Amino acid sequence: MPWSFLWQMLLSNVGRYNIPSQFIWPNHKKPCLEPPSVLNVPTIDLGSFLSGDVDSVWGATCLVNQACREHGVFLIVNHGVDLELVEEAHKGMDYFFGKPLDEKQRA
């Protein structure tokens, strides 16, 4: 079957089917074309998590879960990682992301 025929069939059926509402994101959660003026990244404090307190551990895991599901990214504070190591990691990221796209794609 030629591709043009398949495309014709697909395009002729566009709009004929109703998508159930549970599979449609609400407008406020849909991606937008314009980047946000401020990026609200959730901050998760691991200070109490590292204490070993069961409630704190549970709370932190719930926050990470929520941040991953809703944002896909989060900021960790009071993690106990040495500041010099964090700075070296940032330098490495700057070095990598400063490279041309074709070079980054080989990594």
Provide the 10 A C-beta neighbour count for residue 49: 20
Please count the structural domains in the chain: 1
| DSSP-assigned beta bridge partners for residue 43 | 75
Whether the pLDDT of residue 52 is over 70: the answer is yes
Please provide the average confidence, as pLDDT, over all residues in the chain.
Answer: 86
Whether residue 19 is contained in a domain is answered as no
pLDDT value for 70? 87
3-state secondary structure of 80: coil
Domain span at residue 71?
33-105
Q: How confident is the model at residue 39 (pLDDT cuts 50, 70, 90)?
A: confident
40 pLDDT more than 60: yes
Q: What pLDDT shows up at residue 95? A: 95
Which residue, 41, 50, 44, is CA-closest to 64?
44
pLDDT at 71: 85
Overall average pLDDT of the 91-104 stretch? 93
Residue 11 is assigned to a structural domain of this protein: no
Residue 65 placed within a domain? yes
- 90 within a domain of the structure (yes/no): yes
Model pLDDT, residue 68: 94
> Does a structural domain hold residue 97?
yes
Q: Judge whether 5 lies within some domain.
A: no
> Residue 21's pLDDT band (boundaries 50, 70, 90)?
confident
For the chain, what is the radius of gyration of the CA atoms?
A: 22
38 is written with which tokens? 């401020």
Q: Is residue 51 part of a domain?
A: yes
- Which one-letter amino acid corresponds to residue 8? Q
For residue 91, tell me if it sits in a domain: yes
